[in-house]
Amino acid sequence: MIRPSRAPEAATCADTSRFQVDGHAASEGLPPPALGCTLDNFSSAAIQALPAAIYATDAEGRITSYNEAAATLWGCRPEIGKSEFCGSWKLYWPDGTPLPHSECPMALALKRRQPIRGVEAVAERPDGTRVTFIPYPTPLFDASGALIGAFNMLVDVSDRKKAEQALAKHRDEQAALYLFTDRLFRASTLDEVYQAALDAIRQSLGCERASILLFDDADAMRFVAWWGLTDGYRRAVEGHSPWARDARDPDIVCIPDVDEAELAGDLRATVKREGIRALAFIPLLAKGRLIGKFMTYHEAPRGFGDADTALALTIARQLGFSIERMRAEDARGKAEAARSFLASIVETSGDAIASKNLDGIVTSWNRGAERLFGYTAAEIVGRSITILIPPDRQNEEADILERIKRGEATEFETIRLTKDGRLIDISLTISPVRDEDGRVVGASKIARDITERKQAQARQELLALEIQHRTKNLFAVVHSVVARSFAGKHSVEDAQEAVLSRLRSLAQTHAMLIEKEWQAAAPAAVAGKEMSPYAGRVAIEGPHVALGPKAAQNFALALHELATNAAKYGALSNAAGHVRISWEVEESSALFRFHWCERGGPPVIEPEIKGFGSVVLEQVMSEYSHEAPRMAFDARGVTYELTGLLQALAQ
């Protein structure tokens, strides 16, 4: 802040410029940073203005203050002066291991006397819900280097984690289904079908054990394949079925918890003895007839949601088709049954499935392919498959045909061209097709549109980077304001007033940027927010210019310093003074010129001491300057000019 001339004062905070930016230990021989304050110095309004959960402790780790965001994250309100290290009800590491409060990152920061970064933890609320968060505990020291407490910012990353887990689960499920479909297509025996189904059931439905049972000639359910079941258990439950043999459209039966199910006492004892706490019965149909079931077994209570049901029915449908195909082979001949089953799968599949000969000419085209690529079978059968390949990827087809001729299957993600000219992301599985003599005569292709998954993945990655970037920027700005605002102050009250006013300015700009979803802000909007207390005495004019989020925050700080100085010593300190804020753009040179001009105030003299305001106006704003910022102390009033590159302001 610019002040009238007076003697220099000793700084109340130690210089922290030699400490590492990431908050790790200082260079050997240097004392710890002395911030000289705790979060208790902040007003409630300032704490509440910050969007993240924030709390403070004393040197022994007892919580001294927290904001509403912290209480919301914890789901409870810790007792001030008694609760220690963290206000959460329970804490865990990300892998589920309990984390004692005395060993949490805040406790570690106080013990080591240094910030802790790069860790995640999980807070459990009293209602049982859990929140994954990233803590930023930072110890505070007084001017002598003595530890006086710490403050912590908790960033909730639960939504990001859930999105990542959901995306990963969906990806794994789809991969298992793709593999299952491919293995069913290649299976030549019922044992291969059963093994493919057991693998798909365990991978897709997340069960530890699984089994397949089919009706025998006596209409009794018999195990035909299983994974992880003992002989004794299978003998004890074989023959049991929740549906009658002639049931039509039987429903899935799920037992979420064996202890709460209506089971006969001996059956419940048998199931629990096997270590099973939950199980599900999924009917297998062939041509509308019930032919058996597959089962999933879980070692802990578990229910089946709608997504699980849909997935299980998809597997059951594919498995039912496969069993029917193999049985048909015995009755009508292996080759004819295989062709019939393949035609059924292709026709009913939601995937785009096509075939081609070794010259790349399309020989078959299903409805899924029509929906995905826009061509009807009549339009594309007999034409080259390269009609779907973008010009810059034409070399892919030659490589695919070489692999097929060698009898190799291939699976990859690529881009294809639709009839209406759109480019779409697809996953492509290509397998060789052989004749009765085993010779490769063509290829089958299974394509699935993954455009939405790609877009969702890109959005998720962008969101994660944006959250990380904004959090680091906000923490760095707040830290800088707090650290520098104590320099040159006579008392804690003076420092507190400076900190609070600057943080309010930051909060105003931060709120405005959030409203605009962190897109560009206009100088008029920033200036209007900062100068609103002096309405009627400030003129603001200039063309529209896009300020990036960082530039908007720095301009807000600069205007705050100029306005505060004018209110204390300049044109806004009396009843007659006024301020003119203006800017213009030189299109030819892409330059932005900003002007601050005070008139009508008391005579001004240049101060001998430069404080935080001078740092902002001369050093921080120089980042956007084409030439050094100019500040003049004319007797008529202070003027400030900045000439900067438009490109730097918009970044």
Asked if 603 and 631 sit in the same domain, the reply is yes
Asked if 395 and 422 sit in the same domain, the reply is yes
Query: DSSP alpha helices (H): ranges in 279-374?
Result: 306-332, 334-348, 367-373
Asked if 206 and 331 sit in the same domain, the reply is yes
pLDDT of 298 reads 93
For residue 639, give the CATH number of its domain.
3.30.565.10
pLDDT of 597 reads 95
Asked if 329 and 397 sit in the same domain, the reply is no
pLDDT of 567 reads 85
* Residue finishing a domain among 427, 449, 471: 449
For residue 188, give the CATH number of its domain.
3.30.450.40
Report yes or no on 484 lying in a domain.
no
pLDDT of 36 reads 37
- Strand locations in 113-220 (E): 121-124, 130-135, 138-141, 147-156, 209-215
Asked if 331 and 356 sit in the same domain, the reply is no
* Residue finishing a domain among 449, 483, 500: 449
* Residue finishing a domain among 312, 341, 370: 341
Q: Mean of the pLDDT values across residues 335-351?
A: 66
Q: Name residues whose C-beta falls within 8 Å of residue 580's C-beta, 6 or more positions apart in sequence.
A: 538, 539, 595, 596, 597, 599
Asked if 312 and 362 sit in the same domain, the reply is no
pLDDT of 508 reads 58
Report yes or no on 487 lying in a domain.
no
Asked if 247 and 281 sit in the same domain, the reply is yes
Report yes or no on 112 lying in a domain.
no
Least confident of 170-184, 254-268, 421-435: 170-184
Q: Mean of the pLDDT values across residues 540-553?
A: 85
Which domain, by its residues, includes 373? Answer: 351-449
Query: DSSP alpha helices (H): ranges in 424-516?
Result: 451-485, 492-515
pLDDT of 489 reads 53
Under the banding of pLDDT at 50, 70 and 90, the label for residue 222 is very high
Mean pLDDT, all residues of the chain? 81
How far apart are the C-alpha atoms of 487 and 484, rounded to whole Å? 6
- Strand locations in 12-62 (E): 53-58
For the ranges 86-90, 532-536, 645-649, the maximum mean pLDDT occurs at: 86-90
Asked if 166 and 312 sit in the same domain, the reply is yes
> Would the pLDDT of 4 be above 50?
no
For residue 373, give the CATH number of its domain.
3.30.450.20
pLDDT of 343 reads 67
> Would the pLDDT of 257 be above 60?
yes
> Would the pLDDT of 612 be above 70?
no
pLDDT of 245 reads 87
Asked if 197 and 324 sit in the same domain, the reply is yes
* Number of domains within the chain: 3
Report yes or no on 123 lying in a domain.
no
Report yes or no on 525 lying in a domain.
yes
Amino acid at 354: A
Least confident of 11-15, 394-398, 479-483, 599-603: 11-15
Asked if 394 and 271 sit in the same domain, the reply is no
pLDDT of 87 reads 93
Report yes or no on 645 lying in a domain.
yes
Q: Mean of the pLDDT values across residues 103-110?
A: 94
**The residue to which tokens 């002639």 are assigned:** 246
Under the banding of pLDDT at 50, 70 and 90, the label for residue 98 is very high
Q: Mean of the pLDDT values across residues 44-60?
A: 82
Report yes or no on 279 lying in a domain.
yes
Report yes or no on 485 lying in a domain.
no
Asked if 246 and 292 sit in the same domain, the reply is yes
Asked if 288 and 372 sit in the same domain, the reply is no
Q: Are strands 253-255 and 278-286 parallel, antiparallel or unpaired?
A: antiparallel
pLDDT of 519 reads 58
